[in-house]
Amino acid sequence: AIASGVVGYLAESSEVTMYAGKRGRILVNAPAHCPTSATLISKPIGSRGNGATSSDSGGDSSSSNPTTMHVEFPLPLPSKAILDSGGVQLPNSMGFVYEAEAVRRLISAKSYTFPQWTPEESVGSIRTIEQMLNQ
């Protein structure tokens, strides 16, 4: 596997992040630093290229067309207290409020791990990143 990244701060960008692999692509839609949607593009096993131009299907491109799925995960609306205090100032800042509220609920319940993201999943993510960095 190959991982590459490009970051630029002096130019306008589409602010979309793409992860590409043998079976397709994941697009983290804009703004990628605080997204609320993603697009999953999966190719049939054995297809090459972008799917539509594959030459391994005997000229029938329909058998190698990728499948596209758009996933939305909207942020909650700001509470009255947040709006009364001036609201959030940056795009999708409600994500930070949502995250802080989740931590508050966790601590109030005297719990230290999120059921949505276990310590084992955290360690697995770190190991995956370490493998990428070692390549």
Task: Tell me the per-residue pLDDT of 43-78, one tens digit each, with 9 for 90 and over.
Answer: 887 776 654 434 444 444 455 688 999 999 898 888
Q: Annotate 55-104 with three-state secondary structure.
A: CCCCCCHHHHCCEEEEEECCCCCCCHHHHHCCCCCCCCCHHHHHHHHHHH
Separation CA 103–CA 94 (nearest Å)? 14
Give the residue, 82 or 62, on which the prediction is more confident: 82
SS3 116: coil
State the CB neighbour count (10 A cutoff) for residue 79. 12
Give the pTM: 0.59
Q: Which two tokens stand for residue 55?
A: 């030459």
